[in-house]
Amino acid sequence: MVRRLCDETDARRLLNPGPVAIVTTDWRGTANAAPIAWTAPLSMAPPLVGAVIHPGRHTAAMIRFSEEFAINIPGPALLKQTAFLGTQTGLDNDKIAAAGLQTFAAQRIEAPLIEGCLAWIECGLQDVIPIGDHTMFVGRVVKVQAMDEAYAQTWLLESREHSPLVYLGGTKYAVLGDPLEAVIEVDEHGKLIAETPEEREEREEREAQEREQAERGDTTEQP
Protein backbone atom coordinates (compact mmCIF):
# COMPACT_ATOMS: atom_id res chain seq x y z
CA MET A 1 0.00 0.00 0.00
CA VAL A 2 1.37 3.38 -1.00
CA ARG A 3 0.56 6.55 0.93
CA ARG A 4 0.69 9.47 -1.44
CA LEU A 5 1.36 13.05 -0.29
CA CYS A 6 -1.41 15.31 -1.55
CA ASP A 7 -1.65 19.04 -1.94
CA GLU A 8 -3.22 21.04 0.91
CA THR A 9 -6.00 22.00 -1.51
CA ASP A 10 -6.93 18.30 -1.84
CA ALA A 11 -8.45 18.50 1.66
CA ARG A 12 -11.59 20.03 0.19
CA ARG A 13 -12.14 17.15 -2.19
CA LEU A 14 -11.31 14.49 0.37
CA LEU A 15 -14.05 15.98 2.54
CA ASN A 16 -16.51 15.58 -0.31
CA PRO A 17 -18.82 13.94 -1.04
CA GLY A 18 -21.88 15.31 0.61
CA PRO A 19 -25.05 15.85 -1.37
CA VAL A 20 -24.53 18.64 -3.87
CA ALA A 21 -26.93 21.55 -3.34
CA ILE A 22 -28.48 23.74 -5.97
CA VAL A 23 -28.85 27.05 -4.18
CA THR A 24 -31.80 29.06 -5.49
CA THR A 25 -32.34 32.73 -4.81
CA ASP A 26 -34.78 35.43 -5.82
CA TRP A 27 -34.41 39.19 -5.76
CA ARG A 28 -37.23 41.46 -6.94
CA GLY A 29 -38.82 38.73 -9.06
CA THR A 30 -35.64 37.49 -10.74
CA ALA A 31 -34.52 34.03 -9.74
CA ASN A 32 -31.14 32.36 -9.95
CA ALA A 33 -29.67 28.93 -9.26
CA ALA A 34 -26.10 27.68 -8.73
CA PRO A 35 -24.68 24.34 -7.59
CA ILE A 36 -22.85 24.58 -4.28
CA ALA A 37 -20.86 21.63 -2.95
CA TRP A 38 -19.62 23.29 0.22
CA THR A 39 -22.59 23.10 2.54
CA ALA A 40 -22.71 22.00 6.16
CA PRO A 41 -25.14 21.47 8.99
CA LEU A 42 -24.13 23.90 11.75
CA SER A 43 -26.65 23.73 14.60
CA MET A 44 -29.67 21.66 15.70
CA ALA A 45 -31.49 24.21 17.87
CA PRO A 46 -31.82 26.61 16.25
CA PRO A 47 -31.55 24.64 13.00
CA LEU A 48 -28.74 26.31 11.05
CA VAL A 49 -26.98 25.28 7.85
CA GLY A 50 -24.08 26.91 6.04
CA ALA A 51 -23.43 27.47 2.35
CA VAL A 52 -19.88 28.50 1.53
CA ILE A 53 -19.91 30.69 -1.56
CA HIS A 54 -17.27 32.77 -3.30
CA PRO A 55 -18.11 36.48 -2.89
CA GLY A 56 -17.76 36.96 -6.66
CA ARG A 57 -20.71 34.68 -7.46
CA HIS A 58 -24.01 36.29 -8.38
CA THR A 59 -25.61 33.93 -5.86
CA ALA A 60 -23.63 35.61 -3.06
CA ALA A 61 -25.03 39.04 -4.03
CA MET A 62 -28.55 37.58 -4.38
CA ILE A 63 -28.40 36.16 -0.84
CA ARG A 64 -27.07 39.41 0.59
CA PHE A 65 -29.89 41.39 -1.08
CA SER A 66 -32.79 39.01 -0.44
CA GLU A 67 -31.57 37.68 2.93
CA GLU A 68 -32.79 34.17 2.11
CA PHE A 69 -31.95 31.14 -0.01
CA ALA A 70 -33.09 27.60 -0.69
CA ILE A 71 -31.05 24.43 -0.91
CA ASN A 72 -32.41 21.98 -3.52
CA ILE A 73 -30.90 18.49 -3.47
CA PRO A 74 -30.87 16.82 -6.90
CA GLY A 75 -30.60 13.15 -7.80
CA PRO A 76 -28.84 11.70 -10.87
CA ALA A 77 -31.73 12.71 -13.18
CA LEU A 78 -30.55 16.32 -12.83
CA LEU A 79 -26.83 15.60 -13.33
CA LYS A 80 -26.44 17.64 -16.52
CA GLN A 81 -28.63 20.49 -15.32
CA THR A 82 -26.64 20.71 -12.07
CA ALA A 83 -23.32 20.84 -13.90
CA PHE A 84 -24.70 23.33 -16.43
CA LEU A 85 -25.81 25.76 -13.70
CA GLY A 86 -22.19 25.82 -12.52
CA THR A 87 -20.76 26.82 -15.88
CA GLN A 88 -22.14 30.35 -16.08
CA THR A 89 -23.34 33.24 -13.98
CA GLY A 90 -26.95 34.21 -13.55
CA LEU A 91 -26.00 37.87 -13.47
CA ASP A 92 -27.33 38.53 -16.97
CA ASN A 93 -28.83 35.16 -17.86
CA ASP A 94 -31.92 33.19 -16.84
CA LYS A 95 -30.02 29.99 -16.09
CA ILE A 96 -33.05 28.18 -14.69
CA ALA A 97 -34.87 28.55 -18.02
CA ALA A 98 -31.73 27.80 -20.04
CA ALA A 99 -31.33 24.55 -18.09
CA GLY A 100 -34.95 23.66 -18.86
CA LEU A 101 -35.76 23.43 -15.17
CA GLN A 102 -39.26 23.86 -13.76
CA THR A 103 -39.77 25.46 -10.38
CA PHE A 104 -42.51 25.62 -7.79
CA ALA A 105 -43.22 28.08 -5.00
CA ALA A 106 -41.47 27.69 -1.67
CA GLN A 107 -43.65 27.78 1.44
CA ARG A 108 -41.80 30.38 3.52
CA ILE A 109 -39.46 32.28 1.19
CA GLU A 110 -39.53 33.93 -2.24
CA ALA A 111 -36.74 31.85 -3.80
CA PRO A 112 -38.20 29.17 -6.10
CA LEU A 113 -37.72 25.45 -5.53
CA ILE A 114 -36.59 23.16 -8.34
CA GLU A 115 -38.96 20.43 -9.55
CA GLY A 116 -37.44 16.96 -9.79
CA CYS A 117 -35.13 17.39 -6.80
CA LEU A 118 -35.24 14.95 -3.88
CA ALA A 119 -35.33 17.45 -1.00
CA TRP A 120 -35.66 21.18 -0.39
CA ILE A 121 -34.47 23.32 2.53
CA GLU A 122 -35.77 26.90 2.84
CA CYS A 123 -33.57 29.28 4.79
CA GLY A 124 -33.64 32.83 6.07
CA LEU A 125 -30.23 34.51 6.28
CA GLN A 126 -28.95 34.38 9.85
CA ASP A 127 -25.33 35.42 9.43
CA VAL A 128 -22.64 36.19 6.89
CA ILE A 129 -19.14 35.11 7.87
CA PRO A 130 -16.08 35.82 5.69
CA ILE A 131 -13.83 32.75 5.65
CA GLY A 132 -10.57 32.88 3.68
CA ASP A 133 -11.44 33.62 0.06
CA HIS A 134 -15.08 32.49 0.50
CA THR A 135 -18.09 33.61 2.54
CA MET A 136 -20.20 31.38 4.75
CA PHE A 137 -23.87 32.22 4.46
CA VAL A 138 -25.53 30.85 7.58
CA GLY A 139 -29.13 29.91 6.89
CA ARG A 140 -31.83 29.60 9.54
CA VAL A 141 -33.91 26.65 8.33
CA VAL A 142 -37.58 27.62 8.10
CA LYS A 143 -39.04 24.73 6.08
CA VAL A 144 -37.84 21.32 4.90
CA GLN A 145 -39.48 18.99 2.39
CA ALA A 146 -38.25 15.68 1.01
CA MET A 147 -39.56 13.01 -1.32
CA ASP A 148 -41.00 10.00 0.50
CA GLU A 149 -39.13 7.62 -1.81
CA ALA A 150 -35.82 9.32 -1.02
CA TYR A 151 -35.81 10.21 2.65
CA ALA A 152 -37.25 9.12 6.01
CA GLN A 153 -35.04 10.41 8.85
CA THR A 154 -32.05 9.28 6.76
CA TRP A 155 -31.45 9.02 3.04
CA LEU A 156 -33.06 5.69 2.12
CA LEU A 157 -30.85 4.91 -0.90
CA GLU A 158 -33.33 2.27 -2.01
CA SER A 159 -33.07 3.19 -5.65
CA ARG A 160 -30.45 5.02 -7.66
CA GLU A 161 -32.87 7.61 -9.00
CA HIS A 162 -33.90 8.58 -5.46
CA SER A 163 -30.35 8.86 -4.10
CA PRO A 164 -28.61 12.22 -3.87
CA LEU A 165 -25.98 13.33 -6.31
CA VAL A 166 -22.58 14.01 -4.80
CA TYR A 167 -19.81 16.10 -6.32
CA LEU A 168 -16.28 14.73 -6.57
CA GLY A 169 -14.67 17.67 -8.37
CA GLY A 170 -14.11 18.77 -11.97
CA THR A 171 -16.81 17.12 -14.05
CA LYS A 172 -17.04 14.06 -11.79
CA TYR A 173 -20.10 13.18 -9.76
CA ALA A 174 -21.38 10.08 -8.00
CA VAL A 175 -24.61 8.82 -6.57
CA LEU A 176 -24.69 8.07 -2.87
CA GLY A 177 -25.33 4.34 -2.48
CA ASP A 178 -24.60 1.01 -0.84
CA PRO A 179 -26.04 1.76 2.62
CA LEU A 180 -24.25 0.04 5.49
CA GLU A 181 -25.49 -0.57 9.02
CA ALA A 182 -22.84 -0.05 11.71
CA VAL A 183 -23.45 -2.67 14.42
CA ILE A 184 -21.08 -1.98 17.32
CA GLU A 185 -20.07 -4.96 19.47
CA VAL A 186 -17.28 -5.02 22.04
CA ASP A 187 -15.43 -7.93 23.69
CA GLU A 188 -15.11 -8.50 27.45
CA HIS A 189 -12.29 -5.89 27.58
CA GLY A 190 -14.41 -3.19 25.92
CA LYS A 191 -12.41 -3.54 22.69
CA LEU A 192 -14.27 -3.17 19.42
CA ILE A 193 -14.93 -6.45 17.60
CA ALA A 194 -14.00 -5.27 14.12
CA GLU A 195 -15.35 -8.40 12.46
CA THR A 196 -17.75 -10.98 13.91
CA PRO A 197 -17.32 -14.62 12.81
CA GLU A 198 -20.44 -14.24 10.61
CA GLU A 199 -19.07 -11.08 8.98
CA ARG A 200 -15.75 -12.85 8.39
CA GLU A 201 -17.52 -15.74 6.71
CA GLU A 202 -19.52 -13.34 4.50
CA ARG A 203 -16.36 -11.43 3.53
CA GLU A 204 -14.46 -14.59 2.68
CA GLU A 205 -17.34 -15.85 0.55
CA ARG A 206 -17.51 -12.51 -1.26
CA GLU A 207 -13.76 -12.46 -1.87
CA ALA A 208 -13.81 -16.04 -3.15
CA GLN A 209 -16.62 -15.15 -5.56
CA GLU A 210 -14.71 -12.09 -6.77
CA ARG A 211 -11.55 -14.16 -7.31
CA GLU A 212 -13.52 -16.76 -9.25
CA GLN A 213 -15.11 -14.06 -11.40
CA ALA A 214 -11.73 -12.43 -12.09
CA GLU A 215 -10.23 -15.79 -13.07
CA ARG A 216 -13.09 -16.39 -15.51
CA GLY A 217 -12.56 -12.86 -16.88
CA ASP A 218 -16.22 -12.34 -16.09
CA THR A 219 -16.89 -8.67 -15.49
CA THR A 220 -20.68 -8.82 -15.31
CA GLU A 221 -22.02 -7.60 -11.99
CA GLN A 222 -23.57 -9.92 -9.40
CA PRO A 223 -27.29 -9.25 -9.08
Q: From the list 31, 57, 109, 141, which residue makes contact with ligand FMN (rule: CB under 6 A)?
A: 57
Binding status of residue 103 toward ligand FMN by CB under 6 A: no
Closest residue by Cα to residue 96 from 25, 14, 196: 25
CA 162, chain centre distance (Å): 13
Helices then strands, each counted (H, E), the chain: 5, 13
* Binding residues for ligand FMN restricted to 105-144, rule: CB under 6 A: none
Question: Which residue number, 78 or 141, has a Cβ lying nearer to ligand FMN?
Answer: 78
* Nearest distance from C-beta of residue 177 to ligand FMN, angstroms: 18
How far is it, in rounded angstroms, from Cα 155 to Cα 141? 19
Query: From residue 208, how far is each of 90, 205, 211, 222 by CA, in Å?
Result: 53, 5, 5, 13
* Nearest distance from C-beta of residue 58 to ligand FMN, angstroms: 3
DSSP 38: -
* Nearest distance from C-beta of residue 191 to ligand FMN, angstroms: 40
Residue in the shown chain whose Cβ atom is closest to ligand FMN: 86
Q: From the list 27, 69, 120, 167, which residue makes contact with ligand FMN (rule: CB under 6 A)?
A: 167
How far is it, in rounded angstroms, from Cα 135 to Cα 74? 23
Residues 17-56 as x/- pattern, contact with ligand FMN by CB under 6 A = ---x-----------x-xxxxx-------------xxx--
Q: Contact 150/163 with Cβ under 8 angstroms?
A: yes
Question: Which residue number, 89 or 196, has a Cβ lying nearer to ligand FMN?
Answer: 89
How far is it, in rounded angstroms, from Cα 120 to Cα 162? 14
* Chain residues in the site for ligand FMN (CB under 6 A): 20, 32, 34-38, 52-54, 57-59, 83, 86, 88-90, 167
